[in-house]
Amino acid sequence: MDAIVVKRLTKTYKPLWPWEKPATVLSDVSLSVREGEIFGFLGHNGAGKTTTMKILLGLLRATNGQVELLGSPAENVAVRARIGYLPESPYFYDYLTAEEFLCFYGKLAGLDRETIQKRIPQLLERVSLTEARHRQLRKFSKGMLQRIGLAQALIHDPELVILDEPMSGLDPIGRKEVRDLILGLRDQGKTVFFSTHIISDVEMICDRVGILSRGKMLALGRIEDLVDAHTARSVEVVCDGVVGDDLHDVKKLAVRILQRGERCLIILSGQDHLEKVLAALRQAGGRLVSVIPHKGSLEEIFLEQTSRKA
C-alpha cells in the first residue's frame, strides 16, 4: 500500500485583491510514496515543496486534486496521530524547556503521561540534546531548534514522517546525524517523506525521488533509473604526450577536448568510439593515463531539468 498518494494536485493562491493575478503554485502534481521507503522531494527554492507538504497536513486547502495519507484523506484529523511533521525553519514556544515542549506535543498526539515520560529521554538522546533538556527553547541555537523539531515529529512514534528540509541549519555532523536518523526510521519500518534542495543528501539515503520545478513534477522514480534514463554515460579519457595536430582524428569523435600543457582530457558521449579514439591516441604516441566511464548524477538531471524550463 502507498503511504502517501497525491493525485493531480493543483494549488492556486487567491490574491488579496481581485485585480491581482492569482498565483498557481502547484499544477497537476502527482506522486506516491510507498510504505517503508525514504522518498526525497527535490526542488529549487520556490518550487512548491512546502506548499505540497502543507496540503498533505491539511494546513492548506488544495484547489484541485486528491491527497491521501495512510489511506485517509488529508481532512481526516484522526490519521494525524500516525504522522509526524517537521515544518520548514520551525519556530516553537520559546518559553518552554525542551522537556516541557516534548511533553506538550506528546499530549497533543494523545499519548498518556507514562509513555511520554519514557519517550522523552530516548528522543533527546537520539537528537543529541540530553544536556539541554532543562533549557528554554529561546536559548536554543538554530541547529538545536531543528533537532528539537525532529524530536517533536517523532514523539508519538509515527508510521509516516514528513520532514520539510530537515537538514537545513545543521553543521556537517548534524547533517550526518539526521541522515542516520532517517535511515534508522526506515529500519524500523517507517516511511519518510522529506524535502530538500541538497542533492547529495538525497543521493545518499533515498530509495526514490521526485523532482519538482515551478510547481510541476519533472521526474519521479528510483535514483538509478532516473540517472540511466536521463543522462548519457559519457567516458573521460586522460592522455599525456599528445598535442594539437595529433588529435585531429580524435576531435571529430569527441564531445569536448581540454588541453593543459602535456596532458589532455577527452570527453566522449559514450562507449561507441572509445576503441577508435584509443587507437588514434596510441598511434600518435600518447601515454594513456586513465579511462573513466562517467556515470551521470542526480545533480545533472536536476540542473538540466530545472534549467530547461527557465
Residues that bind ligand ATP (CB under 6 A): 13, 23, 25, 43, 45-51, 88, 197
**How far apart are CB 83 and other proteins at their closest, in Å?**
7
Tell me if 12 contacts other proteins by CB under 8 A: no
Tell me if 147 contacts other proteins by CB under 8 A: no
Q: Is 36 left (phi over 0), alpha (psi -120 to 50) or beta?
A: left
234: exposed, middle or buried (Cβ count in 10 Å: 0-12, 13-18, 19+): middle
**How far apart are CB 162 and other proteins at their closest, in Å?**
8
* Nearer residue to other proteins within complex by CB, 65 or 296: 65
DSSP conformation class of 7: E
Q: Cα–Cα distance between 164 and 193 in angstroms, integer?
A: 8
* Nearer residue to ligand ATP within complex by CB, 11 or 119: 11
**Which residues are near Mg ion by CB under 5 A?**
49-50, 88
Name which of other proteins, ligand ATP, Mg ion, none residue 255 binds, using a CB cut-off of 5 to 8 Å depending on partner kind: none
Tell me if 292 contacts other proteins by CB under 8 A: no
Name which of other proteins, ligand ATP, Mg ion, none residue 220 binds, using a CB cut-off of 5 to 8 Å depending on partner kind: none
* Nearer residue to other proteins within complex by CB, 95 or 303: 95
Tell me if 61 contacts other proteins by CB under 8 A: yes
Name, in order, each residue with C-beta under 8 angstroms of 84's C-beta and a sequence gap of 6 or more. 152, 153, 154, 155, 156, 158, 160, 161, 162
Sign of CA dihedral 237, 241, 244, 247: negative
CB 267 within 8 A of CB 235: yes
The single residue among 108, 173, 198, 292 that binds other proteins, judged by CB under 8 A, is 108
**How far apart are CB 82 and other proteins at their closest, in Å?**
9
CB 165 within 8 A of CB 182: no
Q: Cα–Cα distance between 70 and 55 in angstroms, integer?
A: 15
Here the cell at position 51 is: 506548499
Question: Residue 240, SS3?
Answer: strand
Count of all residues that appear for the chain in the document: 310
**How far apart are CB 11 and other proteins at their closest, in Å?**
9
Helix H or strand E encompassing 174: helix 172-187
Stretch that binds other proteins, among 41-49, 58-66, 193-201, 263-271 (CB under 8 A): 58-66
**How far apart are CB 33 and ligand ATP at their closest, in Å?**
17
Query: Beta 191-196 vs 234-240: how paired, if at all?
Result: unpaired
**How far apart are CB 164 and Mg ion at their closest, in Å?**
6
Q: Would you tell me which residues interact with other proteins (CB under 8 A)?
A: 13, 54, 57-61, 77-81, 83, 85, 87, 90-93, 95-96, 104-105, 107-110, 149, 152
